[in-house]
Amino acid sequence: MTQFSLTEAQRTRNDEGYSNFLLNLGSGACESHTFGIGRNIQTLISLLHLNVVSELDHLHDFVFPGDVLCDPDECASKAILSTHNTNVSDINAHILERVDGEMIHCYGVDSVDVEHADEFHLGPDMLHKVQAKGVPDYDLRIKKGCVCMIVRNLSFVDRLVNGTKVVVVDVSPRLVTVRKPHDSETYRIPRISFKAPIEPGSPIEMCRRQFPLQVCYAMTVHKSQGQTIDRVGVDLRSDVFSHGQLYVALGRVRHAENIKILIPKERIVNGVPYVKNVVIENLLT
């Protein structure tokens, strides 16, 4: 067997400076700086040469300016990345409000296996509030012309798989008609069943029948892995928390000019932005 080492970032090979920065970032070679004292010590790296904002609206305007929001095909080639699902949901809801068109509420059908519910009474209101990873909300809010992501593998032949971006064409009580960006062929998506614990660690499962769609102007950094995105905004109001997560977030674009990072004001010291980077050296050997 022959062992090969990957030494060149293919996606950013036409931007040498940014490519070298990403290689140092991924290997943990970026210069670190220590802030705080005692238990509050933090080791951070600087993003001195990247475009940074400290207001979420500025990030929205960079990735999805008004003229772009009118073009769902253009929107599908852009994304805001965040570290946590909660932030992703908030950003998607905010941008969806700015998209032209009437808000459509697609309500799911929730149930629970009574046999495993013991003596607890699980009313509809409680089930409707369940938000589980990979499970659409009970009240799925979409608009005709909005960009969504398919969250289950539906058809490998048609390439309608988990992570595929689609544009909503029409909505009926039983079907959502979608198309892929820059494609006129349409597909009809039905509701399917999702199962999830009513809360993390609970032995009681609920079943939700809902359209396997999620509004997708923003997504988690994990979900973006492997993608090349034309324009990216990175929401770092919450620190990265896993090995290589910052490298993945910043490595989705081809050029440094196509990315902008949202950093809290307190992380900008003397005009220099600082962020956390997690690199586990044992995983690099």
Which residues is 141 bridged to in the sheet?
A: 105
Comparing CA positions, the residue from 262, 271, 281, 278 lying closest to residue 81 is 262
- At 206, give phi and psi (nearest 5°): -110, 155
- DSSP per position, 139-152: EEEE-TT-EEEE-S
The burial of 192, by beta-carbon neighbours within 10 Å (0-12 exposed, 13-18 middle, 19 or more buried), is given as: middle
Which residues is 195 bridged to in the sheet?
A: 207
Give the torsion through C-alpha atoms of 268, 269, 271, 273, to 10 deg: -40
Residues of the chain with pLDDT under 50: 119
* pLDDT at site 120: 53
Residue type, 100: D
Comparing CA positions, the residue from 154, 149, 152, 153 lying closest to residue 168 is 149
* pLDDT at site 84: 93
Comparing CA positions, the residue from 113, 119, 269, 283 lying closest to residue 204 is 113
Comparing CA positions, the residue from 82, 99, 78 lying closest to residue 90 is 82
CB 207 within 8 A of CB 111: yes
Place of tokens 């609920």: 206
* pLDDT at site 119: 44
Tens digit of each residue's pLDDT (9 = 90 or more) over 260-273: 999 999 999 888 99
CB 55 within 8 A of CB 283: no
Taking residue 243's Cβ as centre, other Cβ atoms within 10 Å add up to 18
Residues making up the chain, counted from first to last: 285
Question: Cα 109 vs. chain centroid, distance in angstroms?
Answer: 25
What b/e string do you get for 254-265 counting C-beta neighbours within 10 Å, with b at 16 or more? bebebbbbbbee
Rounded to two decimals, the pTM is 0.91
- At 213, give phi and psi (nearest 5°): -130, 150
